[in-house]
Amino acid sequence: MASQEGWKRREPGPVVRPYAVTGGRTEPADGEVLDLIAVVVTTSRSTGAGSEPARRTPEHRKIINLAHQPTTVADIASDTGLPVGVVRVLLADLIMLGAVKVVRQRPAREMPSDDLLREILNGLRAL
Amino acid sequence: MDSARSSAGQPGLTPHKLLIAGGFAVGKTTMVAAISEVRPLLTEEKLTTASVGHDDLRGVPGKTTTTVALDYGRITFASELVLYLFGVPGQERFWFMWDELAYGALGAVVLADVRRLDDSFPSVNYFETRGLPFVIALNCFDGAPRYEPDEVRDALDLDPAVPVVLCDARERGSVKQVLITLIEHVAAQRARAAVVAAPAGR
């Protein structure tokens, strides 16, 4: 299977199975699946007294640091090297603790606006 | 948790996504890399029955998840408008990922190799069924026989409105033109839908 597309040989990385960092949990604690380009940001409560720092793992803290600027789920997964499913579980923990909030869950279901399309077209033409 | 999940109309980073689909080794990652910084993404997915027969599970009976590597690219236009390009693995065994990748996408490029046009059938079928606007980009590999876009349109039995363009997935300018064609097509589809949706009263 090693030669098939999508299965790439990668550096061994940390010798921890992916869901070990979530304590074996594979579903977000609040049951909500964040979109790949959902935008999250760290809140002021992430460093507050009531934010239960003891319950956080190094991976939680890594995510808090990455999300000081609004950041997408995909970028957090890419920057941490953690699988998307793991990032979703950890983000749900942080959201329930109030340490991270979702500023944009999903792109709109409805058609994109003319203004948006024009802005993208202008951007592409200027590349 | 409603308050934590609310979007509250807050301005800021507004990401949008486009999909780059197509068959095995047709040049999807090359296309993404030609126009954006490619970033690796790991998805840890449950093995489904679709994998049976592909993945040798002998000796690992407890293995129910597997790591799938995707590549994606980002194009940042202004400080807050960012276009994400996700390569969509074309084989049927990865279809479980398509709905998630397609949700909320603006549109898709189906990258096709004229020598293996049937590899693009699943992508075309999927986007037609979802009603997601797409364009066909024929990757002109060196030495590949040239076909006219109209021949390809007939072979794929495409709606006449779907653009079919030639491209070189390695060339930034060529890929840029494909994406421009796609966004123009999305805008045209939007205008068409608005006409259809408008009341017929006069």
Strand locations in chain A (E): 39-42, 71-72, 100-104
Give the pLDDT confidence score for residue B146 in this predicted structure: 77
Identify the CATH number of the domain defined by range A18-125: 1.10.10.10
The ipTM value here is 0.81
Per-residue pLDDT of B95-109, as tens digits, reads 778 888 888 899 999
Q: What is the DSSP pairing of strand B134-139 with strand B107-112?
A: parallel
More confident site: B164 or A31: B164
State yes or no: pLDDT of A48 exceeds 70.
no
CB contact under 8 A, B89 and A30: no
Give the pLDDT confidence score for residue A32 in this predicted structure: 79
Please list every residue in chain A whose beta carbon sits closer than 8 Å to the beta carbon of residue B22: none
pLDDT, chain A, mean: 81
Q: Three-state SS for A2?
A: coil
Testing the interface with A: which of B3, B13, B91, B172 to mutate, by most A Cβ within 10 A? Answer: B13
Domains identified in chain B and CATH numbers: 14-197 (3.40.50.300)
- Reported confidence tier of residue B94, pLDDT bands at 50, 70, 90: confident
Please list every residue in chain B whose beta carbon sits closer than 8 Å to the beta carbon of residue A110: none
Chain B residue with minimum CA distance to A2: B55
CB contact under 8 A, B12 and A70: yes
- Reported confidence tier of residue B165, pLDDT bands at 50, 70, 90: very high
- Reported confidence tier of residue A63, pLDDT bands at 50, 70, 90: very high
Per-residue pLDDT of B105-156, as tens digits, reads 999 999 999 889 999 999 999 999 999 999 999 998 776 777 888 999 999 9
Please list every residue in chain B whose beta carbon sits closer than 8 Å to the beta carbon of residue A40: none
- Reported confidence tier of residue A23, pLDDT bands at 50, 70, 90: confident
CB contact under 8 A, B106 and A104: no
Give the residue extent of every domain in chain A: 18-125
CB contact under 8 A, B183 and A102: no
Q: Min CA distance, A81 vs chain B (Å)?
A: 7
Structure-block tokens of residue A120? 């993208």
Structure-block tokens of residue B190? 């939007």
Least confident piece of the model among A24-28, A96-100, B91-95, B114-118: B91-95
Testing the interface with A: which of B28, B42, B54, B55 to mutate, by most A Cβ within 10 A? Answer: B42
Whether the Cβ atoms of residue B115 and residue B155 lie closer than 8 Å to each other: no
State yes or no: pLDDT of B193 exceeds 90.
no
Least confident piece of the model among A95-99, B55-59, B98-102, B141-145: B55-59
Give the pLDDT confidence score for residue B186 in this predicted structure: 96
- Reported confidence tier of residue B51, pLDDT bands at 50, 70, 90: very low
Give the pLDDT confidence score for residue A9 in this predicted structure: 57
Q: What is the mean pLDDT of residues B160-166?
A: 95
Give the pLDDT confidence score for residue B63 in this predicted structure: 52
